[in-house]
Structure 1
Amino acid sequence: MILGECPYCKGVVSSKNITAQGKKIKLYSCENAKKEYDESEQYVFTTDSSCRFRVYSNAFLRWNKRSFSEREMKKLLQDGQTVVRLHGRKGTGEYFKYVITDEEYGVSVLWEEEVEDKDTF
C-alpha cells in the first residue's frame, strides 16, 4: 500500500508485512531504501540504495505502543509530524507526544514539546 512521498528523496513510501524476530509487523520504507543480506548474514543497504528511510511499526514498543499505524504514517508523511499516544512503564498513565521524521532512525519523539490539543488525535 502506498502511503506517501519520502521526506528525503521524494520516492514512494509503501507499507508491507514482514516477520521480524518471529513477530508479524509492518515495514514502512522508501522505494529507494533497499536492503539485503550480505555474505556475513548482516542485513545491509544495497549498493544501489539512494535513501535510508525505513520505519518499523513496532518502533514505539518500549513506550507500550504496540503499533505505529498506516494512518499515523500517512499523516507523518503528509504533515511532517503526527501525534502518538504513549503509555507509562506499567501501562498506566498515557501521554501524547509529537513524532517527526528522522534521517538516521526513521522517526523521533519530540519529548520537550507538549501536545496542547489532544482532540485532534
Structure 2
Amino acid sequence: MILGKCPYCNANVISKKITARGKNIKVYSCENAKKQYDESEIYVFTSDSTCRFRVYSNTFLKWNKKSFSELEMKKLLKDGQTIVRLHGKKGSSEYFKYVIPHKEYGVSILWEEEIETL
C-alpha cells in the first residue's frame, strides 16, 4: 500500500508486513530504500539503494506506544509532522509529542515542543 511521498527523494513510501524477532509488524519504507541479508546474515541496505527512509511500526515501544499506524505515517508524509500519544514507564501517565522525519533514524520526537492535551 502506498502511504505518500518520501520526504527525502520524493519516491513512494509503502507499507509492508514483516516478522521481526517473532513479532508481526509493519515497515514503512521508501521504494528506493532496499534491504537484504548479507553473507553474515545481517539485514543491510543494498548497493543500489538511493534512499534510507524506513520506519518500523514498533519504533515507539520504548515509550509504551504499541504501534505507529499507517494513518499516522500518512499524516507525517503529508504534513511533515504528526502528533503521537506516548505513555510513562508504568503506562499511567500520557503525553503528546510531535514526530518529524529524520534521515538517520526514520523519525524523531521533538521533546522540547509542548503540546496541549488533546
Q: Which residue of 1 aligns with 2:15?
A: 15
Does the CA contact (< 8 Å) of 2:36 and 2:43 recur in 1?
yes
Count of aligned positions: 118
Alpha-carbon distance between aligned partners in 1 of 2:89 and 2:42, rounded to the nearest angstrom:
32
Question: Structure 2: any 5+ residue segments left out of the alignment?
Answer: none
1:85 aligned counterpart, secondary structure: strand
Gaps of 5+ in 1: none
How many Å separate the matches in 2 of 1:25 and 1:5?
21
What is the deviation of 1:117?
A: 6.4
Aligned-residue identity in percent: 75
Q: What is the TM-score with the length of structure 2 in the denominator? A: 0.98
Matching residue of 2:30: 30
Following TM superposition, the consecutive aligned residue runs of length 4 or more in structure 1 with deviations greater than 4 angstroms are: none
| 2:96 partner SS | strand
**Mapping 1:1-121, distance limit 5 Å:** 1-116=1-116, 118=118
| TM-score, normalisation: structure 1 | 0.96
CA displacement, residues 2-50 of structure 1 (integer Å, 9 cap, x when unaligned): 0000000001001010000000000000000000011111111000000
Structure 1 residue 116: deviation in Å? 3.2
